[in-house]
Amino acid sequence: MNVLKYVDKNMNNLISDLQILIRQPSVSAKNEGIEECSKLVQKLLKKSGIKSEILRLKKGIAPIVYGEIKSKQNPKKTLMFYNHYDVQPAEPFDLWDDPPFSGIRKGNKIFGRGATDDKGELITRIKAVEACLKITGDVPCNIKFVIEGEEETGSAHIEKYLKKYKKKFSSDGVIWEFGYVDAKNRPIIGLGMKGLLFVELSVKESNQDAHSSLAVLIKNPAWRLIDTVKTLRDSSGKILIKDWYKEVTSLSKQDLELIKQEPFDENVFRKEFGIKSFVDNKKGMDAKKALVAGATCNIAGFVSGYIGNGAKTVLPSDALIKIDFRLIPKMDPKKQVARLKSHLKSKGFGDVKIKIFHGEAAARTDSSDPFVNQVKDAADKSFGTSILNVSNAGTGPMYSFVDILKAPCISIGSTYMFSRIHSPNEFARVDLLKKTTKCMCLIMENFGKN
């Protein structure tokens, strides 16, 4: 296939464009370089022959870069690539071997914040479309790009964008912004994503920090929060909030069979993270089911009192804890918030303040959808073999696409599972970038034929 040969011959251009993207900081959490990066992405789309424009809601909200190519051979089918150009903060800087926005290449790896999440993934989609246009002058089906700049901060405005531009974004299928590749170089084809509810709990007890000897009289807000969070889940990880699992349905037989077939090397996983055992000592099928369909209550951060070097006998005046709940299908973030508030009140913690940052529902594509086989066939041809995954353990705004656009969403991509995303020394593997670009070419071909 000449299109795939084009990918082979033009990998240096792909690498160069990825390095250019990495070198442009685009940290949404700090609003650093967002506007500049959106214009750079638009420029790269146009360079590859893709008609593009920048869409906005209002000033201060990160723009979406939109791209579109209409197919001459099959104008009735439309495939969307959803990606994002924003990245996580690069801190702590001192743990990077090279500057985080250097885009430096070392052998088979390209390092830098966003190297894989998500600039590496984005470049594979762009270059796949470019290959088709260069070789055939056409694409196998209509192609649309929706590239947002707020994914790393929770995609706060993606739903508004989808509703405002619903007709423009109309699609028959969506290739999601990333896809994991396991330790044996097999792509994990994700058919869903968990939801997320991120909250902050805080307690302020006094108007000033005090000498710790006064702890016999002044309540410690840190202990108050510790007592609070102990009521949220048990040591096995089960969430104890009333009706938290009320709407949840059991995994289907087909889902269970897919989970059973999915390989998961517990020893490699534990070794990579330097841990001895899993939560509740899960093993085998239970561990795999938890990744796919387990709800979580995770303490993401806890701040109170003195945390510097040495000792300081202080009784803090306030305490704050950040918690993320991973949600599974049928869990409505708004209902879960109400249940959390009711739980705290019923347990005697009505004084604990709750701040809601954002909530996203979970989404899944039915494994029997024809789109699944089209993607798997492409992945098998490009990588040699692939694995179907009922749901990714992470979260993204997939539910909004499924709910508003009524289009199935599937994750497939180049993200090596140990590529240090969100951490110092994040990297993309050149060999996986090449295979994923070819995979995207084959997906477009399969989608256009069917």
| Tens digits of residue pLDDT in 29-76 | 999 999 999 999 999 999 999 999 999 999 999 999 999 999 999 999
Q: How much is the pLDDT for 7?
A: 98
Query: What does residue 364 show for φ and ψ, rounded to 5 degrees?
Result: -145, 145
Return d(Cα 408, Cα 366) in angstroms, integer: 8
* Segment holding 280, helix H or strand E: none
| pLDDT tens string 3-23 | 999 999 999 999 999 999 999
15 and 103 fall within a common domain:
yes
Structure tokens at 168: 């423009």
CB 412 within 8 A of CB 439: yes
Can you tell me the mean pLDDT for 144-152? 97
207 and 162 fall within a common domain:
no
Return d(Cα 159, Cα 285) in angstroms, integer: 35
* Segment holding 6, helix H or strand E: helix 2-9
186 and 201 fall within a common domain:
no
Q: In this structure, is residue 268 part of a structural domain? A: no
| pLDDT tens string 302-311 | 999 999 999 9
pLDDT at residue 248 tops 90: yes
Q: In this structure, is residue 25 part of a structural domain? A: yes
Q: In this structure, is residue 265 part of a structural domain? A: no
98 and 180 fall within a common domain:
yes
Q: How many CB atoms sit inside 10 A of residue 370's CB?
A: 12
Last residue of some domain: 316, 343, 360?
360
Please report the sign of the dihedral spanned by the C-alpha atoms of residue 440, residue 159, residue 44, residue 11. Answer: negative
Return d(Cα 345, Cα 354) in angstroms, integer: 11
354 and 387 fall within a common domain:
no
CB 411 within 8 A of CB 118: no
Q: Is 356 helix (H, G, I), strand (E, B) or coil?
A: strand
Q: How many CB atoms sit inside 10 A of residue 298's CB?
A: 12
Q: In this structure, is residue 145 part of a structural domain? A: yes
pTM of the entire predicted model: 0.86
Return d(Cα 420, Cα 112) in angstroms, integer: 10
High-pLDDT (> 90) share of the chain, %: 92
Mean pLDDT, rounded, of the chain: 96
* β-pairing verdict for 363-364 and 180-181: unpaired
| pLDDT tens string 266-314 | 998 899 899 999 999 999 999 999 999 999 999 999 999 999 999 999 9
102 and 180 fall within a common domain:
yes
Domain assignment of residue 301, given as a range: 195-248+295-360
Return d(Cα 417, Cα 354) in angstroms, integer: 34
pLDDT at residue 1 tops 80: no
In 71-159, the DSSP E strands lie at: 78-84, 105-106, 109-111, 142-148
219 and 332 fall within a common domain:
yes
Last residue of some domain: 316, 341, 360?
360
Q: How much is the pLDDT for 265?
A: 87
Q: How much is the pLDDT for 107?
A: 98
